[in-house]
Structure 1
Amino acid sequence: TSCDKQHTSYDKQFTSYDGQHTSYDKQFTSCDKQHTSYDKQPNLDFKAVITSSPACTEQIEKMKQELFRISLEQNRMNALIENLDCNKKRALQDIENFFDEIKQLLQIQKRAALYNVTHYTNEKKNELTNYLKYLQECSTRMNDYINELIFWDSNKPRVDGLTIPFCSNSLQLDQAMYDYDTSVILGLNNDKDNISCSLQQILNQKLVIVEQGSIKVEDIIIQRNDTDNPMALVYWCVDGLTIDDRSSFELEVSSCNENDNNDKWYISAMSPGANTRGVIIINDEKENKLKWGNKYIIRMKFHRFKISQTPFSENYFVYLTDNFIDSNIINAKEIKALESLLPQNYSKVKLLYRGSEYNFDAKAFRNKCNGKEQTIVIVLSELNY
């Protein structure tokens, strides 16, 4: 009977756990019928334990509380597994529907394309047939004319000055019909590889498994590598993503200079453990893709299990200028803010004078900077105003 009294307080002790799991009903609304059993609290069959030691009794109570928490967590995991199975079935059905719609659309487009080719060739055939009829009519008239000449020659006496019958309907050939184009050239023949690639890209975009969460490019620091080329340190962070050793990141670098035809390349990097932030280096000693004076767009996305991904992060614009590298009076963030104010389309920034290298001299500063085009002067004031 003492055990009964000891366990009557469990309902009150564990009411706090109910609040933690009330959100599961909303998460699994699609599987309410399957998960109704998880809404109930677990029935734990505790054996009656009688002990005279208060310390043992307290320890047993704590262990029973932990068992209750474990049971709740087991129920939650079971609910998550079944909910995952439900979502899997729904996703598989969506894929079936998606490809069925594509098949129907392709059938419609196929019928339309076949009709267009048939109609096109029939129109050309009608033109050729009509011209053939015209030639046949001309041939008939010529034969009739020849017969008339033969008849006239055999029945009329040869008298000087007698007019020979003349065929007024002389043959008029259509010069355009000499080079009539009978070819049927489909754009598909020339662009089928491009169409296949485009279709593949579309399907890859539409059929990707989207991870809930986001990745962001926080900052990009520009430095010099050992070959004096620019090296970019891309600092990233993630939010709401589960990261482990199977995760990876894809960084896209796209050039936005007019003379390089928007060159684009990708850099893949494995996740550094379970970290939620890190850095990826572009243009290390092994590669020199970035060039001084060029402008680039950098963005990232996160991959899980190699088959799922987040959407791309927002575009991060970078203008690689070595004018402010290792500056004593302006940092990377201030450089970025300054460059965002400068005209980007038809301009190039050139460093005219640097006091930390040339030793500031008013006369030298005037000689180097006066009479130039639009200039900006950056001064660090000791008075800080």
Structure 2
Amino acid sequence: MPGRRFAFGTLVKSALVAATLSLATTGSTLADAGFRQWIANFESTAAQNGIRRETYRAVFSGVSEPDHDVIRRARFQPEFRDNAWDYLDNRVNDSTVAEGRRMLREWGPWLQRIEQRFGVDRHILLAIWSMESNYGRALENVDRLKNVPQALATLGYLDQRRARFARQQLIAALKIVQDGHVAPAALTGSWAGAMGHTQFIPTSYQAWKVDMDGDGRADIWNSIPDALATAANLLKDNGWRTGRTWGYEVQAPSGVNLAGLDRANKTIAEWERLGFRRVAGRSFNDRSENANLVMLGGPNGPLFLMTRNFFVIKRYNNADTYALGVGHLADRIAGGGEFVQNWPRGYTPLTMQERHELQQRLTSQGLYDGKIDGLIGSGSRSAITAFQRRVGVAEDGNASKALLDMLRRN
């Protein structure tokens, strides 16, 4: 989810925030009244920023209570909480690679035009599309889509840490409607107000929107060319280096103190002089390029020399695991393979087909009631832990070969 956070307006008084948080916790009618009052009060702030009354009231028509699921989701962001391997297993796998290659064939002519115009590799754009909305499938799940003004107002009302961000984004969202880019009813997105196929928050949409298909609107909700071009525009504007990679998996020389080199920045040539080599005997593309050593699994996991483009990807989402996921998925879609070095999991992982079987068997045990999709999230882990508790083994919550074997025996 791309975005920049800027100072905006005045914060809600601390006493009012504390009171409304208390009310929201009880779920009382008074809390909803407080939310409605917040919306009424914010109209004057919106007016000061050029929002017309008819726009404001059309956008908030029918919005009368905060969306408490927004607060729950704000507290759990997997790219900052999950182990790197758990995060990547759900996002870079046979399914996402195969779908990426299919989308490459289907949207190839548009991707070629976008790459020529902005200089951003088409496989990177496909990987971002996958990571952000599962190639648009997330937009079809209406039960999970949020009313963006309601979501942002909820954050502004209940989340002190994000209040300034939410208020700024809400003004931008209102301007997007007022400028005719999207109808109020179609202004949907994530809990944080990220919108469309490539999940742009409102201020980022304003900064980088592109009408690639030439219909007069930069429609990231319905036009895949517009959404992918808007993502490319963001990357280009933040310093994407055309024809360069995001990074390399490398092997370290024996005996080197990796802890002392973590995040160090040197040219590729300097890393080579220290004994670092690209895995599988491959060579580096440009030895004059600078790179940082990054160890997302610690010294016993895969090691990477991350170049400038890795950090440009982080302007989209400021998490190392996210940027690694984009880069790795892009390489896989382009025909590359898995990482050479294993992650320090402590267990043997499952294939995507086996993960489906795992969820099916947990369902038959009455422990899992979620979607059979092979994605191991909090619901699957809770079910795994419950099964492990039932059979009297260590409750690690890992989707392992050993666990699946136990389920098969049961």
One fold, TM greater than 0.5? no
Structure with the bigger percentage of strand: 1
- The two structures have a TM-score, normalised by structure 1, of 0.18
TM-score under structure 2 length normalisation? 0.18
Structure with the larger helix share = 2
Larger relative contact order (CA 8 Å, sep ≥ 6): 2
